[in-house]
Amino acid sequence: MLDIEFVRSRFIKHFDGKTGKVYVAPGRINLIGEHTDYNGGFVFPGAVDKVIMAEMRPNGTEDTVMAYAIDLKDRVDFKLSDPAGPRASWARYIYGISKEMQKLGVPVKGYNIAFAGDVPLGAGMSSSAAMESCFACGLNDLFGDNKVEKWDMALAGQATEHNYCGVNCGIMDQFASVFGQAGKLMRLDCRSREFEYYPFNPVGYKLVLINSCVKHELAGSPYNDRRNSCERVVEHIAAKHPEAKFETLRDCTWEQLEEVKDEVGHEDYTRAKFVLGEKDRVLAVCDALVKGDYETVGQNMYATHEGLSKDYEVSCEELDFLNDVAKECGVTGSRIMGGGFGGCTINLVKDELYEPFINTVKERYTAKFGKQPKVIDVVISDGARKLSD
């Protein structure tokens, strides 16, 4: 994990020499359950040991935030009362979460903040949720007597994406970053918000991410289009069944989807088909995990990749290639992780196949695309928290 002294030294140097309090929040992995969160389905994420770390201190002003992005060496000052907010995309997370925490009744005033991170950007590991959760945790502590509940902090992070960053995301990433626990994955029902922790210790296997280094970017991307497709299908189904309540695809059956197949068009139909299948796969994986049946976990991961690539169309040549190589190497399970359009694959690999797989994938990817993929080992870790007073 990042070194607290590194962040602290920059905070001291960059501002007035005083120290603040230090907060941290992680990125996440997701074993299975992709694009299901905004459809009211299930997800199966866990927080990781890659984090955003921020030092923060009230600066005595009414509403001036002085922010320094250590990794970018970029400084932005803005006023919370400015309705437009800052332009720099990283600063919009700070502005957005401050506004959302204010809406929750936290009397956020001016503060100084310096932050850094080792969550790879654009890798689909949710560096943005890590920022939101980290800053929310800090604001809750500094200005709110820690009165805001964890769920509200996660929702404030999601609202930041919706209202200030242009991504109509679901709740998975912020949930994982806030609620994560070391050594445990979490199965979240995104409709009821009930969740359970699942100890994850696949003896004889490793979980490894391979970053295609194709930068995934959700803002202004077809991510929101996918969500719109799903919502259109729900509207069609609801119109046919005025007696029932349909809020998301979670409320719809395979039969109901078939009923509207012709009227919704091929693209929306295949997208909805993926979502219904993915809901079943998460449940199958949970059962398999309890039984220690990693072969079934892996088969479902491959099926998810296939669906994300062919039906949901959020893959790219590089990710499909990584998936093919994993299959050829005998990797137990492999798939795109996160929103797609670049970023990582997540791979469940038998211990003895780990080295040969890593070597083969590096060699073949570099030969084909002229750039190295990055291997990211992850440890399932704790969620957002204060590190130091």
The dihedral through the CA atoms of 248, 254, 258, 261 has a sign that is positive
Applying CB under 6 A, the span of 33-41, 195-203, 282-290, 359-367 interacting with ligand GLA comes to: 33-41
- 359 is written with which tokens? 């070597």
Nearer to ligand GLA, 169 or 322 (CB): 169
Task: Work out whether 34 is an interface residue with ligand GLA (CB under 6 A).
Answer: yes
> Of the two residues 37 and 55, which places its CB atom closer to ligand GLA in the complex?
37
Q: How far is the CB of 302 from ligand GLA (least distance, A)?
A: 17
169 binds ligand GLA (CB under 6 A): yes
Which of 96, 338, 373, 383 is the binder for ligand GLA (CB under 6 A)?
Answer: 338
281 is written with which tokens?
Answer: 């796969």
Q: Which of 98, 102, 112, 126 binds ligand GLA (CB under 6 A)?
A: 126
Contacts with ligand GLA: how many residues (CB under 6 A)? 11
The span of 165-173, 248-256, 302-310, 365-373 binding ligand GLA (CB under 6 A) equals 165-173
Tell me how far the alpha carbon of residue 169 is from its chain's centroid. Answer: 9
Residues 37, 141, 318, 320: which binds ligand GLA (CB under 6 A)? 37
Which residues have a catalytic role annotated? 173
Which residues partner with 272 through β-bridges? none
The answer to whether 141 contacts ligand GLA (rule: CB under 6 A) is no
Contacting ligand GLA (CB under 6 A), which of 11, 15, 23, 38?
38
- Closest to ligand GLA by CB, 38 or 195: 38
Judged by CB under 6 A, the stretch of 90-98, 108-116, 166-174, 360-368 that binds ligand GLA is 166-174
Q: Which of 40, 339, 342, 373 binds ligand GLA (CB under 6 A)?
A: 339
Tokens linked to 69: 């992005």
Q: What's the rounded Cα separation, in Å, for the pair 275 and 312?
A: 8
Choosing from 100, 132, 141, 173, the residue that interacts with ligand GLA (CB under 6 A) is 173
Least distance (Å) from ligand GLA to the CB of residue 300? 15
Q: 172-179 and 127-143 are packed helices; what angle lies between their axes, rounded to 10 degrees? A: 50
The residue with tokens 């404030």 is: 156
Does 172 engage in binding with ligand GLA (CB under 6 A)? yes
- Regarding 35 and contact with ligand GLA (CB under 6 A), the answer is yes
> Least distance to ligand GLA from the beta carbon of 366, Å?
27
Q: How far apart are CA 197 and CA 154, in angstroms?
A: 17
170 binds ligand GLA per the rule CB under 6 A: yes
274 counts as binding ligand GLA under rule CB under 6 A: no
Residues in contact with ligand GLA by the rule CB under 6 A = 34-35, 37-38, 126, 169-170, 172-173, 338-339
